[in-house]
Structure 1
Amino acid sequence: MLSWFDDLLSWMPNSALSDWSELLPQQLRQLLVDHQHGDVPRWLDALATLPTIDAVTADLTDAELVLSSPHVSKEQAQQLEQGLRGLMPWRKGPFRFFDTAIDTEWRSDWKWQRVAPHLAPLNGRLVLDVGCGSGYHIWRMLGEGAERVIGVDPSRLFMMQFQAYKRYLQAANGRVNADLLPLKMEDVPAGLKGFDTVFSMGVLYHRKSPIDHLQELKDALRPGGELVLETLVIDGGLGECLMPEDRYAMMRNVWFIPSVETLLLWCRRVGLSNARLGDLNRTSLDEQRSTDWMRFNSLADFLDADDRSITAEGYPAPLRAVIVANA
């Protein structure tokens, strides 16, 4: 697994992220060798099941991130689906691996449609995607012209799903300037000031100290760089914020859900400039749901059965905002 990051590690010393270049190999070795996740052998077996396919093409602008080839046999298609199902559950997508469509729990393409119109052009930019999941949005960022995208997410399963897609994208395009590191944002060295754009989507409300998270994101940006936040908010005015008693929508690790005005104030307090609301959207049962590729409970189970405007605990149902600001 360490070899997956050879290209990134060779690029990093002469880049804007040179201050990270000596530490990262130690971090990867500790996580992937010294403290290996117990399911890793099973997931690696699933990856090994994926067949080699010739004449691959890819479309990183398509909502399904379609991989295509005229040379996929029936046997290869069966091997492919077997391997991909060995990496279940698939939460972020959708993806289409040749004739195999992965209907993920989240329609992450809908989120991208809400976020993309508010971005500075990504052409030629160095991008960090915090809490990137399986990497769906990483691929969309590359499709928008980003020079290199680095995602961080501590889930080893997401890293395996990312590698499944990257393997075929490399077959199509050769070198692929995208990596998913099995790290948390706290593992990214403080004060890098190296990224042109930083995304944090679906992370802020999981942090016990949202102000610290915003500061970490700001400090990862070069001066003038762009921060893109996508997070839960509540209806309300300046200073209002929900702190759940225990769970929120069945999630234990939800700490603070601010109003939009409160979130914009938090951004200003950490020194971000021009913080503005890009989009506001109530999560629908069509955007997050159980599927054949994610068979556990989903949003329908997390809301009140008789009143879909509130969660099972009686809090306002998920409302998500896109906030854009600059370092």
Structure 2
Amino acid sequence: MIDYSPLLDTLKNSPLASWHAPLAKGLQARLAELQHGDLERWQHSLRNLPPLDGVRHDFSHSVALDAPPLDAQTQQQLYDALQGLHPWRKGPFDLFGVHIDTEWRSDWKWERVAPHIDLRGRRVLDIGCGNGYYMWRMWHAGAAMVIGVDPNLLFLNQFEAVKHYLPKAPVWQLPFTLEDLPEPTNAFDTVFSMGVLYHRRSPIDHLLQLKACLRPGGELVLETLVIEGDENHCLLPEDRYAQMRNVWFLPSAPMLERMLRRAGFKDVRCVDLNQTSVEEQRSTDWMRFNSLPSFLDPNDSNKTIEGHPAPLRATLIGQRPT
């Protein structure tokens, strides 16, 4: 069972104090109802992580943990435990000599985003945080507190595999959706929503929810799929997009800027526009299912298998007015 008491104690004396009671109640209910056919396997993997002394971390270029050299038996135990949490989608991770070559080269995205933000001393909320890869990078960038939310239980267990070796880090993952959180408190300095907006049926409502989580003057970092075009162009897929069923709305970057302004953000700017390559997203030994190469037109990599424009991702930054 995950011990959230350090987080709850931290909230008591912070601008998030009003979260303490409802979050404690919500976590108790959520943890009591956790169900998944593979949950026992994932929990078994966590229990099999070997205890290690002298743990060091270096998150400057990836998420890397190190310790004095492991003997062969301990190394194999660690490898088997981490493989038991397959598939690993966001990363890479380098954990005590085990290189987890994840589906996504998330370090590439972080390198594109990081130069445009300053997280020093900030309270950060990461919506749809996945397995927490970016949260560890945010902490390294100087964030005082990082809270991530994602209802996916595999991702939660992958996060806990790293947290197991850094129990005092002010980084926490909640098995919630954004809607499951207590009422917004206008208390976060920075809110991230990366790879979420195109899954939402009501994108403007999502932007308003994100704004409500920010303090006045706080900053939103929004990364999502877009298409090329002016502020009047968008794509609403009839069925699937790159084999994903739950893709609802892909605006152009200029339209997305307008949406953010309409939602009440100011100083809106697009800081990165990047077409996802098959080097950045692909199958590996740590994610053995189909990936981007299978989702593109085999005769034209600029199109998805359905004939839509290939994945183009934009990162926009905006500020909640003071």
Please report the TM-score for the alignment, with normalisation by the length of structure 2. Answer: 0.97
Alignment of 1:53-202 (within 5 A): 53-63=52-62, 65-119=63-117, 121-170=118-167, 175-202=168-195
Residue 11 of structure 1, CA deviation: 1.2
Amino acid in structure 1 at the alignment position of 2:112: R
Stretches of structure 1 lacking an aligned partner (at least 5 in a row): none
Residue 200 of structure 1, CA deviation: 0.3
Amino acid in structure 2 at the alignment position of 1:9: L
How many angstroms apart in 2 are the aligned matches of 1:199 and 1:191? Answer: 15
Residue 189 of structure 1, CA deviation: 2.9
Contact 2:135–2:146 under 8 Å retained in 1: yes
How many angstroms apart in 2 are the aligned matches of 1:229 and 1:100? Answer: 32
Alignment of 1:1-327 (within 5 A): 1-3=1-3, 5-63=4-62, 65-119=63-117, 121-170=118-167, 175-327=168-320
Percent identity (aligned): 55
How many angstroms apart in 1 are the aligned matches of 2:308 and 2:33? Answer: 42
Amino acid in structure 2 at the alignment position of 1:196: D
How many angstroms apart in 2 are the aligned matches of 1:26 and 1:314? Answer: 47
Q: Per-residue displacement from partner, 1:228-269 (whole Å, max 9, x unpaired)?
A: 001111001112110000000000000000001110111011
Residue 34 of structure 1, CA deviation: 2.7
How many angstroms apart in 1 are the aligned matches of 2:285 and 2:72? Answer: 21
Contact 2:224–2:313 under 8 Å retained in 1: yes
Contact 1:118–1:278 under 8 Å retained in 2: yes
Residue 35 of structure 1, CA deviation: 4.1
How many angstroms apart in 2 are the aligned matches of 1:280 and 1:290? Answer: 23
Q: Per-residue displacement from partner, 1:160-212 (whole Å, max 9, x unpaired)?
A: 00010111123xxxx21000101111112343201000000000000000001
How many angstroms apart in 2 are the aligned matches of 1:296 and 1:274? Answer: 40
Amino acid in structure 1 at the alignment position of 2:120: N
- Structure 1 stretch 184-193 or stretch 34-43: which is displaced more? 34-43
Stretches of structure 2 lacking an aligned partner (at least 5 in a row): none
Q: Per-residue displacement from partner, 1:35-71 (whole Å, max 9, x unpaired)?
A: 43332221111011110111111102122x2111124
Number of residues of Structure 1 aligned to a counterpart in Structure 2 = 320
Amino acid in structure 2 at the alignment position of 1:21: H
Amino acid in structure 2 at the alignment position of 1:234: I
The alignment yields a C-alpha RMSD, in angstroms, of 1.0
Contact 1:195–1:225 under 8 Å retained in 2: yes
Instruction: Determine helix, strand or coil for the equivalent of 1:58.
Output: strand
Instruction: Determine helix, strand or coil for the equivalent of 2:147.
Output: strand
How many angstroms apart in 2 are the aligned matches of 1:137 and 1:34? Answer: 27
Residue 14 of structure 1, CA deviation: 2.0
Amino acid in structure 2 at the alignment position of 1:40: L
Please report the TM-score for the alignment, with normalisation by the length of structure 1. Answer: 0.96
